Each structure stands twice: as C-alpha cells, then as structure tokens.
Amino acid sequence: MYNFSRTIYRELAPLVVEDRRDPTECRNKQAVLDACETAIGRLAYDGRYFARPARSLFREIRSHFKVSDQLYVWRVVERNMELAIEFMSRYPTAAAVDGPPRRCHAYTRQGDPCQRAPLPGRDYCPSHKIFEDPFEEELERPAAVA
C-alpha cells in the first residue's frame, strides 16, 4: 500500500506551493506526504468504514496547491484511490503488507480487543464471524438462476 501513497505524492510534489516563512521550504510537501500516507493507511486498515477516501484526502491537501492546479490534483487523487481500492478488493490479504497487521474488530469478554487476524475480506476472525453483517453477505452472493 506504500506504493499508492508515494505515487500520489510523486505526481503532486512539483505543484506544491511552499510557504515563504518556512526556511527549509519543505513543510507543505511533508504535510502532503503525511496526508497521503495516512489516507492510504486508513484505507488499508479500515477501508470498510472510510466512506469517501478520495474526497477526504483532497480536502486535506488542497490548501497546498494553486487554485488553477486543483482539478489536476483531484484527478490524481481520485484515480490513485480507485486503483488502491481495486487492488485491495482483488488481494485482501496483501493490503496490510507494509502497515499494521489487520486485527479482528471484536472485543473479548474481558473487554480487550481480539488479537486474532480476521478472515480474508472480512472484519472478524473465525471466532467472531457471527458479528458479520448478514445483509452484506447476501449482496455478495450471486442470485440463484431459475
């Protein structure tokens, strides 16, 4: 997932408007890079509850670009987020390769977070799979042909 955030940053870095008061002239570029990595990391770790990742990232970084460049910035962010989402849907186990390991979303009886890895493409481990939303499973299953 690291590659997606770096791709966004590499395409947008030359367009970042630097702050005149910053002697290093890299504060805004670092802010854009951090925002890209945070958005992609959240998408990989908890993408099911990240409703509009492209819009969220664009809103966070748009202040670092000229108004005339913002349409290009939006297109870069949207295209790369769609690619990241498609990659995660095809390879759900590879999504957290360079991020934190995926954890089950359930809690134990003692109130501690479950430490087991969830099933591929799911949010819960085998012990807590009863907490999966049954309506989403019905949407994923193809309808029976008569």
- pLDDT, one tens digit per residue, over 57-102 is 999 999 999 999 999 999 999 999 999 988 887 876 655 545 566 7
Q: Among 65-69, 133-137, 142-146, name the one with the lowest average pLDDT.
A: 142-146
- pLDDT, one tens digit per residue, over 103-114 is 788 888 888 988
Residue 1 contacts by C-beta under 8 Å, 6 or more apart in sequence?
40, 41, 43, 44, 84, 88, 95, 96, 97, 98, 99
pLDDT for the residue numbered 93 = 62
Residue in the structure block whose two tokens are 């990989």: 44
The structural domains of the chain, with segments of one domain joined by +, span 2-94, 103-146
Residue in the structure block whose two tokens are 């290009």: 72
pLDDT for the residue numbered 100 = 64
45, pLDDT greater than 60: yes
Supply the DSSP string of 59-126, one letter for each residue.
HHHGGGS-GGGHHHHHHHHHHHHHHHHHHHHH-GGGTTTTSPPP--S-B-TTSPBP-SPPPTTSSS-G
142, pLDDT greater than 70: no
Mean pLDDT, the chain, rounded, equals: 83
